[in-house]
Amino acid sequence: MLNTLLPILLFAALGLALIGVLRRVSLWRNGRAAKVDLLGGLLAMPKRYMVDLHHVVARDKYIANTHVATAGGAVASIILAILVHGFGLHNRVLGYALLLMSAVMFVGAIFMYLRRRHPPSRLSKGPWMRLPKSLLAFSGSFFVVTLPVAGVLPANFGGWLLAIILGIGLLWGVCELFLGMTWGGPMKHAFAGALHLAWHRRPERFGGGRSTGLKPLDLTDRTAPLGVEKPKDFTWNQLLGFDACVQCGKCEAACPAFAAGQPLNPKKLIQDMVVGLAGGTDANFAGSPYPSLDGMGKPIGEHGGNPHQPIVNGLVDADTLWSCTTCRACVEECPMMIEHVDAIVDMRRHLTLEKGATPNKGAEVLENLIATDNPGGFAPGGRMNWAADLNLEVMSHKKTVDVLFWVGDGAFDMRNQRTLRAFVKVLKAARVDFAVLGLEERDSGDVARRLGDEATFQMLARRNIQTLAQYDFKRIVTCDPHSFHVLKNEYGAFEGHYVVQHHSTYLAELIADGALNVGQHKGTSVTYHDPCYLGRYNGEYQAPRDVLRALGIEVKEMVRSGFRSRCCGGGGGAPITDIPGKQRIPDMRMDDIRETGAELVAVGCPQCTAMLEGVVEPRPMIKDIAELVADALFEETAPAKPAAARREPAEAH
């Protein structure tokens, strides 16, 4: 009986699944064209899956092992089941292989079931609670129906009753795996995920690479939309990427805006994009909603959309998009390597460039950037006031230099001027041949770009690149990770290619080369806060720690440090758009800092400095790495007085 039904069931399900594939593909094809290496991507996919994706999943050993067993067992079981029960190849070896694989899958599914007994809040419930049971039904039923094939049990054992139970189990399992895969069940992640890995919009990320720079808009193409208004304005492989989400909530757990009670949940956002690409409402979403100020969360089921409907104020509220600090914690944690930040900035671009709807101080900051090249609207002529007494060399005189010191807009900020002056002191002590652009420097364009104003970003970038093109330098060094990231990773698209270093990296080099004579840091215990744009964006975790160690500091690490560092709340223009939440992100970060018991937190970013110093006292002190190094410098004028006469004029420290 089952022997006749089973092939019919299998092939019918396969056929329906295939129709599902075509439908899903047609949904993705609503998106815009993208340059993708279709064949190369497919060929690279297995390796990307087994190496790169597994590398992320393996941060949680339990789930990694469980997933290997379940997914590996499932893929093998499906293929073997089609051979054995579909085509009727009742071969003993195949039979035993199928038994083994379905057993492995069964064990994996049991562990998955156990994990789901008390699921953490980041996991979606709903159909995802059913999935482990479906997998058990699938593997268990196939195990039992395969026993006769392997010759372990006689055919027709168990009689009608068992046949009926098995039949139900098989139907359930096959539906979940075959149909759910392509018709939008939880198993969709396997099908969409595999293709997403193959046709990822940042293939450079695989094989240990890094790709974090935002992709430019072609402003000369008048037909291309300025950012994303409707789901169909995403590229097709972005839509495909959204479909790959497994709703694991790793992104939600890492998101500082979500934790602060701002109305953003990256997981929900990705699921809303799935709703947008497929059409419908978010009523079936079974995870944490966007937080709301009353603590209840924004109600589910009131938002909906389709590929041809504007996203904002249909599917997603604008404040959700403006809550993001672009810290990339979500992208870093996502096992499916989905690009949340790209999607958020794409939608912001539409709001800023088409709607003129950058909230709060956004419009003012953008106007200032256009009219004064700095976000504060300060007179451009004051850009060098911080160094009035330092006699800095300027590129327009010097032309050729080893190190071009990129000052950044911190030049206008009194607190950051202390850092800049400390760094200059260190450069001078190390006798570095350096110069600044002086009044020729402009804002790097970081904030404009993250606020969605691609036009202003490109204007600033082009002018800076033009300025830099006139001079000869070996490298650019900056104390600002945002400028660092933009100069290093985002100017390339406009023919600006430079060797760029963050000052911590350069300081580490100077110390390693013995060019700096530093003493020991005195007193207080120290922790270190990794800036997002240095760490996750550029992978520099070591150099700042090396510098601190050279000062005799043993860093008291925070639980969330390195690639798991929590944002200070200052990125992505978030302090400018200032979306209210239950608490402030820098306060949460300060709690992380307090937990270590450190009395001082070393930072490497003007934004982090400003955000953390904005936390009310009493709190640990905040010092930039450059300040710590400058404080520990051995003064050169220390030796006996007479010798000083023959020395070069003392430097102004």
Partner 1 sequence: MDKSALHVISLVSVGAHPTSGRPRRAEQDARAVELGLQLAGDNLHVLHAGDAEEPALRGYLGMGVDELHVLAQPPGADALPGLADYIRESGVQLVLTGSQAETGEGSGMLPYLLAEKLGWPLVVGMAEVESMSNGTAQVLQALPRGQRRRLKVRLPFLATVDNSAPKPRQSAYGPAQRGLLDVEEIDVVIDEVFAGAELTPAKPRPKRLKVIKAKSGADRMKAATAKASGGGGQVLKGVTAQEGAAAILKLLVEEGVVR
If one asks whether residue 379 binds partner 1 (CB under 8 A), the answer comes out as yes
Beta bridge pairs of residue 602: 528, 623
Nearer to partner 1 among residue 455 and residue 585 (C-beta)? 455
Nearer to partner 1 among residue 303 and residue 383 (C-beta)? 383
How many residues bind ligand SF4 (CB under 6 A)? The answer is 30
Smallest distance from the beta carbon of 288 to ligand SF4, in angstroms? 11
If one asks whether residue 577 binds partner 1 (CB under 8 A), the answer comes out as no
If one asks whether residue 521 binds ligand SF4 (CB under 6 A), the answer comes out as no
How many residues bind partner 1 (CB under 8 A)? The answer is 24
- What are the distances in angstroms from CA 511 to CA 229, 367, 433, 517, 601? 50, 42, 16, 8, 21
End-to-end CA distance of the chain: 92
Strand, coil or helix: 190: helix
**One-letter identity of residue 157:** F
Choose one: 78-86, 299-307, 453-461, 467-475; the region binding partner 1 (CB under 8 A). Answer: 453-461
Q: Please tell me the distance from the alpha carbon of residue 443 to that of residue 483, in angstroms, as a whole number.
A: 8
What is the DSSP track for 210-234? ---SPPPP-TT-TTS-SS-SSGGGS
If one asks whether residue 380 binds partner 1 (CB under 8 A), the answer comes out as yes
Q: In what order do the strands lie in the sheet with 434-436?
A: 434-436, 400-406, 472-478, 500-502
- For residue 211, count CB atoms less than 10 angstroms from its CB and return exposed for 0-12, middle for 13-18, buried for 19 or more: middle
Give the H/E segment covering residue 526. strand 526-528
From the list 98, 112, 248, 516, which residue makes contact with ligand SF4 (rule: CB under 6 A)?
248
Kindly tell me the sign of the dihedral angle through the C-alpha atoms of 389, 395, 397, 398. positive
Nearer to ligand SF4 among residue 212 and residue 464 (C-beta)? 212
**Which residue matches tokens 């209840």?**
296
Nearer to ligand SF4 among residue 86 and residue 203 (C-beta)? 203
Whether 510 and 485 have beta carbons less than 8 Å apart is answered as no
From the list 109, 135, 338, 461, which residue makes contact with ligand SF4 (rule: CB under 6 A)?
338
Smallest distance from the beta carbon of 320 to ligand SF4, in angstroms? 9
If one asks whether residue 184 binds ligand SF4 (CB under 6 A), the answer comes out as no
Q: Please tell me the distance from the alpha carbon of residue 247 to that of residue 189, in angstroms, as a whole number.
A: 9
From the list 78, 98, 330, 455, which residue makes contact with partner 1 (rule: CB under 8 A)?
455
Whether 446 and 489 have beta carbons less than 8 Å apart is answered as no
From the list 357, 439, 465, 555, which residue makes contact with partner 1 (rule: CB under 8 A)?
357
- For residue 251, count CB atoms less than 10 angstroms from its CB and return exposed for 0-12, middle for 13-18, buried for 19 or more: buried
If one asks whether residue 342 binds ligand SF4 (CB under 6 A), the answer comes out as no
Choose one: 255-263, 370-378, 419-427, 586-594; the region binding ligand SF4 (CB under 6 A). Answer: 255-263
- For residue 642, count CB atoms less than 10 angstroms from its CB and return exposed for 0-12, middle for 13-18, buried for 19 or more: exposed
Helix ranges (H only) for 399-501 are 414-429, 446-450, 454-469, 481-485
If one asks whether residue 131 binds ligand SF4 (CB under 6 A), the answer comes out as no
If one asks whether residue 214 binds ligand SF4 (CB under 6 A), the answer comes out as no
From the list 44, 179, 197, 334, which residue makes contact with ligand SF4 (rule: CB under 6 A)?
334
Q: Please tell me the distance from the alpha carbon of residue 417 to that of residue 411, in angstroms, as a whole number.
A: 6
Nearer to ligand SF4 among residue 550 and residue 568 (C-beta)? 568
If one asks whether residue 218 binds partner 1 (CB under 8 A), the answer comes out as no
Choose one: 133-141, 162-170, 368-376, 510-518; the region binding partner 1 (CB under 8 A). Answer: 368-376
If one asks whether residue 246 binds ligand SF4 (CB under 6 A), the answer comes out as yes
Q: Which of residues 221-260 bind partner 1 (CB under 8 A)?
A: 226
Q: In what order do the strands lie in the sheet with 600-603?
A: 526-528, 600-603, 621-624
Q: Which does 370 bind (CB under 5 to 8 A by kind): ligand SF4, partner 1, none?
A: partner 1
Q: Which does 371 bind (CB under 5 to 8 A by kind): partner 1, ligand SF4, none?
A: partner 1
Report the interhelical angle of 188-198 vs 236-243 (nearest 10°). 140
Nearer to partner 1 among residue 127 and residue 377 (C-beta)? 377
If one asks whether residue 198 binds ligand SF4 (CB under 6 A), the answer comes out as no
Nearer to ligand SF4 among residue 205 and residue 475 (C-beta)? 205
Q: Say if strands 621-624 and 400-406 run parallel, antiparallel, or are unpaired.
A: unpaired
Smallest distance from the beta carbon of 448 to partner 1, in angstroms? 11
From the list 207, 356, 519, 639, which residue makes contact with partner 1 (rule: CB under 8 A)?
356
If one asks whether residue 367 binds partner 1 (CB under 8 A), the answer comes out as yes
If one asks whether residue 32 binds partner 1 (CB under 8 A), the answer comes out as no
From the list 63, 341, 430, 625, which residue makes contact with ligand SF4 (rule: CB under 6 A)?
341
Smallest distance from the beta carbon of 567 to ligand SF4, in angstroms? 6
Report residue 11: phi and psi, to 5°.
Answer: -75, -35
**Which residue matches tokens 């690490």?**
557
Whether 454 and 383 have beta carbons less than 8 Å apart is answered as no
Interaction mask 336-355, partner 1, x per CB under 8 A: ----------------xxxx
Residues that bind partner 1 (CB under 8 A): 226, 352-358, 362-363, 366-367, 370-373, 377-380, 453-456
Residues that bind ligand SF4 (CB under 6 A): 245-251, 254-257, 264, 266-267, 270, 324-330, 333-336, 338, 340-341, 567
